[in-house]
Amino acid sequence: MQGQDDRLSAALRVASTTRAAVIAEGAIDALPGVLCQAAPAARYLIVADANTWKAAGVQVAARMAHGGLSTADPVVLEELPRVKPVAATARELAAVLKRGAALPIAVGSGVINDLVKYAAHLAGTSYVCVATAASMDGYAASGAALRDDGFKRTFACPAPAAIIADLDIIAAAPSVMAGWGYGDLAGKVVAGADWMLADALGEETLSPGPFALIQDNLDAWLGDPAGVRSGRRQALDGLVRGLIMSGLAMQAHGNSRPASGSDHQFAHLWEMEEVAVASLPVSHGACVGIGCLSMLAAYEWLLAQDPLTIEPSACAARTPSAQRLRAEVASAFPLAFMAANAESETLAKAHGPDAVERRVMRLRAAWSGLAKDLRRRLPRADAMRGKLEAAGAPSTAAAIGVSPARHARDYARARLIRRRYTALDLLADLGWLDAAVRELFGEEGFWAPSRAVA
C-alpha cells in the first residue's frame, strides 16, 4: 500500500488543482484536517442528493461539527428518478454559494460532483468532494459534463481542491455502481493505445508522465473484478485509485487525452442520444465499458492486417472532401444540435489528402514496433468481456440498449463526434473501416472469440 500512496502523492504534485486525496477505510475522519489544509474557508456548504445524504452526508456534517467548522444549512437535491446533470441546476447552486459566501462540499458521485464543480467555478470558489461510489473517473477531472439547452457538453472548470474516498462508504454503495466505475477504468486501455497511435502518426505527442500515471498501474487496478463486485476493500481501493489517478493525469496533461479515446467516443454518442434500459439512462461507465470492448475488437482486427500493403498515395486519393464529410455528418445525425457539433469536430481534424498520405507513411515506418507494443499492452476483447462480467458491469451492447445494427453503424458515427485522432480515424484513413465493421459483426455475433486474432 505504501507504494500506491507514494504514486498518489507523486500524482498530486503534478496535478493542476487537487492538492489532497485520502483513500482508505475510515477516511471520512480525515475530512476536517483536509479542509483546514487544502480548502480553508469561513463557512462550508454540504451538497448532496437524498441518497448520498443518507450514505455519507450525515457523517460529513457530524465530522465537521465535531471539528468546529462552520456550515450553512445543507442543500439536498431531490429529483425523480434521480438528479439530472443540468447546467441550470448548477447555476442556481452557484447563486446560493455566492449569497452565503460558502465553500461547497460535494457529497456524491458523478452528477453531484459535476454540478458542484461547475457551481463552485461560477461562484469563484474551490470545492471539496467526498466520494460515495466508485462509479466514474470524474472526481479528480477538470471540467463538468452537463446538459445545457438539450446538449451535453463539458464546461471548463477546475477539479476539487481535495477528495475524500472512504472505502467503507464506497463499499456500501450499490455494487452495480462499482461495475460502472470498472467499465470507465477499463476504457483507459483503449485510451492509451489511441494515444500511442496518435503519437506514432504525428497527430498528438505522447506525454510520458501523464501516460505512465495511468498505464503503468492499470493491470493491477483492474486485477480483481470479482472483488470489486463483492465489495472487497483491497479491490475497491485499486479501483478508486485508478479512477482518481485518471483525473490527476488529465490535470497534469491539461486535457482528457490520457484517459479518453475512441472508447469514450462511443460513450459520448450513446449518452447524447440517451440510450436507456427500462426507461433509465445508462450510466457513463457502462457505456465506456462497451466502447472499450468495441475498440478492443477493432484493434484485434487491425493487428491482423498488414498496412505495408497499403499505398499512401492511394489513401490520399480516397480522402473525402469537406463537402462529403458534411454530407456524411448530416446523414449520420438527424438531430440538428448533434449534427452541428459533429460537423465542427469532424472538419477540425480533416486536414486533407496530404495529411492522410503523411500519416500512412508514418504508419508503415512505425508499424513493426508499434504493433508489437499494442499487442503487448492490449487485452483481448473476450478477456475484457469476462472481466466486465465478473465486476458486475454490462458486457454486451444489448445490455445497454444498443442493437447489433446500431452498434455496427456507430463505429462510423463515433468517429465523427470528436476531433481527437484515434484508431477509428486510422481505419478510415486506410479505407478499412467498413470492412472491419463487416467482419466484427458476423453470423456468430459481435466479434465471437472463435474469430478473435491469435
pLDDT digit string (tens) for 334-361?
988 889 989 999 999 998 999 999 999 9
> 176-222+255-451 belongs to which CATH class?
mainly alpha
Q: Rounded to the nearest 5 degrees, what angle is found at the Cα of 135, between the Cα atoms of 390 and 22? A: 110
For 124, residues 6+ apart whose C-beta sits below 8 A from its C-beta are 98
- Bridge partners of 131, per DSSP, are 165
What is the share, in percent, of the chain residues with pLDDT greater than 70? Answer: 97
Residue 150 — pLDDT band, cuts 50, 70, 90? low
Residue bearing the bigger pLDDT, 41 or 84: 41
The three three-digit cell numbers of residue 362, written as one number: 508514418
**Whole-number Cα distances in Å, 184 to 111, 242, 289:** 15, 10, 6
Rounded CA separation 377/189 (Å): 8
pTM across the whole model: 0.94
pLDDT at 145: 87
- Bridge partners of 107, per DSSP, are 130
Q: How many CB atoms lie within 10 A of CB 294?
A: 29
- H or E segment to which residue 418 belongs: none
Rounded CA separation 74/449 (Å): 51
CATH 3.40.50.620 describes domain 2-173: no
CB 330 within 8 A of CB 339: yes
CA dihedral 186, 113, 129, 1 (to 10 degrees): 0
Letter for the amino acid at 422?
T
- Bridge partners of 46, per DSSP, are 105
Q: Which of 80-89, 127-136, 422-431 has the lowest mean pLDDT?
A: 80-89
Q: Rounded to the nearest 5 degrees, what angle is found at the Cα of 161, between the Cα atoms of 21 and 103? A: 125
Mind listing the pLDDT tens digit for each residue in 258-283? 999 999 999 999 998 989 999 888 99
DSSP state of 9: H
Rounded CA separation 267/285 (Å): 8
DSSP state of 200: H
Mind listing the pLDDT tens digit for each residue in 57-109? 999 999 999 999 999 999 999 987 788 899 999 999 999 999 999 999 999 99
Rounded CA separation 275/268 (Å): 10
DSSP state of 71: B
- Domain positions in the chain: 2-173, 176-222+255-451
Rounded CA separation 166/24 (Å): 5
pLDDT at 3: 75
CB 421 within 8 A of CB 204: yes
Residue 448 — pLDDT band, cuts 50, 70, 90? low
pLDDT at 2: 65
Mind listing the pLDDT tens digit for each residue in 223-243? 999 999 999 999 999 999 999
Q: Strand, helix or coil at 365?
A: helix
Bridge pairing between strands 162-166 and 128-131: parallel
Rounded CA separation 137/159 (Å): 12
Q: Give DSSP secondary structure letters for 99-130.
A: HHT-EEEEESSHHHHHHHHHHHHHHT---EEE
- Packing angle between helix 336-348 and helix 322-332, nearest 10 degrees? 150
Q: Which of 11-15, 386-390, 442-446 has the lowest mean pLDDT?
A: 442-446
Rounded CA separation 368/169 (Å): 47
CB 168 within 8 A of CB 131: no
